[in-house]
Chains A and B, each alone.
Chain A
């Protein structure tokens, strides 16, 4: 068949009705003409009509041949089967509804999850030529974070051959004055080539020009599309407007196009101009991104960068560290870490198990339906339908069912994407745009096909394979025993898969409980936190900042309801980003520590006890001898490294950044106290050594405010008022209770627990339905036997026990299979658990017990029905 003709045939198939009509017209015209001819030859009208008919030949036969000639027979057949399938599904709405619902659950989860996989792992990053975008950083080594210094960055930028564009970024925030009061925007300070690196274009105006990151350039900013919409009402004249940030006037030179940057939290970008001090500063504070020159490989780029890096390090004064290496990495690897990949793999695996269980359920239902329709099939076989035709028809019917279920599943997935993924945003990289797209729909179509084959093939063959003639004879009694055996096996598989999910959910829940009960070292009830960022322009000196902090502390005391208040540069239960070192006399290497600047109220507010020595006090102010408090973990470290038994009173040297974080400084400090360690971030990890330095002596413009209220009374409005009185331009940002902070910290554990828990509940529900179905079905099969038993004197209790034993046997075998599955997954689970073995007997025991209970429950209803069988009726019916 040539392609043109194939196309014509397909066309004919699609335009079937038109072709039929035209053929009918042709036939009618033909007969009319023949009749007229015959009349002209002298026949009567009646005879002429008969004559025309006779000479035309058999009309229906001709039409059939016409159809054959013009169409594609198998496709035509497929469509007919599909229609037939839909019609027969319409006749059994209950069955159809159940199957579609089950499929919608299984498919919805899987397709929704796939959209996440697609967004995070499959789709290219939403930037032009994303493979060329790299992140350049210094490999972490003791004492150096992986950010880099200004001199290094400028040296890298000088190498024209490696990058088309290279830019540094630094997080920033600024206060925007709204009518309702100041609000805080988060942004980034970036060098001028930043948007060239990402290939991001402006929707309005332009991005930064080359000279705009030089000192003395006019103050300009670029807004994200969402910030432009949220805070400036999408004003098309924004480029003519001046915007006040931190009391400074800026010209908006561009608004970015909507897209990936809107999912990032960055709302504005400001040029990053280096000050004279920064140009020579050794502080590691810049993150660097580059766009590789076309044709540059990662290896070449790395070699080139390493050479530049080493050359500059060699010029460093003696005593400073001179080794280290450069990492040039595709940005995609940075955005999707191994943790995220593992979480996604686990979630996808779990949802896939749910899909398998739904398939098992549907196969089961189809079996039952196949059994119910044996008579119909037998009749059709007797009338001459070939076995292949019957299988094809059953498969098509199943396919019709799966298409309906798939459509419902896609709808469910759409809802999930719409309403559930915002909850995931924080865990996903900002470049991940979770949407229902062609990839996802293609995946859904593939799943529909797979599910149709998986669920349809076995029942279809089974139904048409058994001796159909035989089943005509014994149609009422139904099917062979292999039939129910297959169904029981399917249910056992369901129980096994469910057990795996339930166990995983319980293990995660237990792990979460342990983490929640873990002593955090801080008391967080009734504590609210806020952040305050003092702008450089209004608070250029540490004195100004100190003045502000003192005023705020004084004012807070006057607010009724506030019991205690404190300030620190980092929240409790969150990681302390600031890494520094202390030099202990007699020890050559510096001891690496985390540095948190706190005021004198901090420990008291969180009930962190001072174990030895004293708390930070009022007298530890600017100008007084510098002091620090250390945590237990650091005390232990000092004992190990320097043999210091009692650190209180010891004098050490501490590195830190100055007020604006521009210059590194080393100061002599005396240890005045040791506190009990408070938890910093990741629960379950050992506490890092921490130095607490008085905010008054180590000032910083960015602090978190922690306020404990006497009872659960809202104090935030009064705090806002107080703040407004001190400085009307300062916004109060990130208001949250400490409970929320704790939940957020635990979310890495709680989110998978909830997710797997949800999947497990669906799985349990589905296998309960499956068990119920199979047991009721086998009861109908055994009516006769049970009838005989009852007639011979079996009591209802005996029948009940018989049926329940049957159910328990299935569950027991399923549970064994499930335990093997759990054992096989040990390695995957270990990574996600905290102080819980993946073979934890309690969790597994509870899982097995609950599955057994569910099995009994599912068996109980049909068993009770069976026990009430009227022997007379069931014997008569079944005979």
Chain B
């Protein structure tokens, strides 16, 4: 591991608990069907190294979202010409995204207000 990497690592934070679901749903909403690697990459790109994500962590989240019926899978062909699963948002997923977004906004608004008032 290079020195540069180390410093990057120190700056980056873990993904806030419970937000991975939201990030995945949002990613699928804006980009349409994606395979797992693409989802992970997209989250990393947007985070631009401010967040530390083990890419593998999205898979347990994906299976849960899938079992809840919020996303569905289709088989497709990857850029490397391999058969991979593509994940896409379902109708229920779109609704859930709105719910999650509302929750998130409420929570951040509260935290923000709390911090302002406590100063």
Contact = CB atoms under 8 A, between A and B. Distances in A.
B60 A62 contact: yes
B: interface residue count bin: 20 to 34
A62 B82 contact: no
Given A26-B84, A57-B57, A59-B56, A36 B67 contact: no
Contacts of B41: 37
Interface in A1-33: 2, 4-5, 8-9, 12, 22-23, 25-27, 29-30, 32-33
Contacts of A33: 35, 37-38, 78-80
A66 B66 CA distance: 12
A54 B2 CA distance: 13
A55 interface: yes
Contacts of A32: 78, 80, 82
Most buried by B among A23, A36, A69: A69
B63 A55 contact: no
A26 B36 contact: yes
Most buried by A among B1, B36, B54, B59: B59
Contact of B59 (A4, A36, A37, A66): A66
A755 to B, nearest CB: 55
Given A33-B80, A36-B79, A26 B54 contact: no
Given A58-B54, A66-B63, A30 B80 contact: no
Given A32-B80, A33-B79, A57 B54 contact: yes
B36 A29 contact: yes
B105 interface: no
A65 interface: yes
A29 B84 contact: yes
A57 B56 contact: yes
B36 A5 contact: no
A57 B68 contact: no
B70 to A, nearest CB: 11
A751 interface: no
B56 A27 contact: yes
A62 B63 contact: no
A9 B67 contact: yes
Contacts of B32: none
A782 interface: no
Given A29-B36, A34-B37, A70 B56 contact: no
A546 B56 CA distance: 105
Contacts of A54: 1
Given A55-B54, A57-B55, A30 B60 contact: no
Interface in A157-206: none
Contacts of B84: 25-26, 29
A62 B38 CA distance: 18
A541 to B, nearest CB: 89
A55 B82 contact: no
Nearest to A67: B60
B71 interface: no
A66 B36 CA distance: 14
Given A8-B67, A25-B84, A37-B41, A58 B79 contact: no
Contacts of B23: none
B95 interface: no
Contacts of A30: 35-37, 40, 55-56
Contacts of B37: 29-30, 33-34
A56 interface: yes
Contacts of B59: 23, 26-27, 62, 66
Nearest to A32: B80
A56 B56 contact: yes
Given A22-B85, A29-B35, A30-B40, A62 B54 contact: yes
A9 B38 CA distance: 26
B56 to A, nearest CB: 4
Contacts of A27: 56, 59
A57 B57 CA distance: 8
Contacts of B56: 27, 30, 56-59, 62
A: interface residue count bin: 20 to 34
B85 A56 contact: no
A195 to B, nearest CB: 57
B11 to A, nearest CB: 16
Contacts of A5: 67-69
A34 to B, nearest CB: 6
A68 B63 CA distance: 10
A2 B37 CA distance: 29
Given A4-B69, A29-B36, A30-B40, A62 B85 contact: no
Interface string B53-94: 011110110011001110000000011101111000000000
A26 B55 contact: no
Interface string B32-48: 00011110110000000
Interface string A612-631: 00000000000000000000
Given A8-B67, A29-B35, A65 B60 contact: yes
Contacts of B78: 29, 32-33
Contacts of B68: 2, 5
A4 B92 CA distance: 13
A54 B59 CA distance: 16
Interface string B6-44: 000000000000000000000000000001111011000
A341 B78 CA distance: 74
Given A5-B68, A9-B67, A26-B36, A56 B82 contact: no
Contact of B54 (A2, A34, A56): A56
B64 A69 contact: yes
A376 to B, nearest CB: 33
Nearest to A52: B55
A66 B54 contact: no
B63 A70 contact: yes
A2 B56 CA distance: 26
Contact of B67 (A12, A22, A59): A12
B62 to A, nearest CB: 8
A34 B55 contact: yes
30 contacts: A5-B68, A5-B69, A8-B67, A23-B63, A26-B59, A27-B56, A29-B82, A30-B37, A30-B40, A30-B55, A30-B56, A32-B78, A32-B80, A32-B82, A33-B35, A33-B38, A33-B80, A34-B55, A54-B1, A55-B54, A55-B55, A56-B56, A57-B55, A57-B56, A57-B57, A59-B56, A62-B57, A62-B59, A65-B60, A70-B63
Interface of A: 2, 4-5, 8-9, 12, 22-23, 25-27, 29-30, 32-34, 36-37, 54-59, 62, 65-66, 68-70
Nearest first, the 3 A-B pairs at minimum CB distance are A57-B54, A62-B56, A33-B37
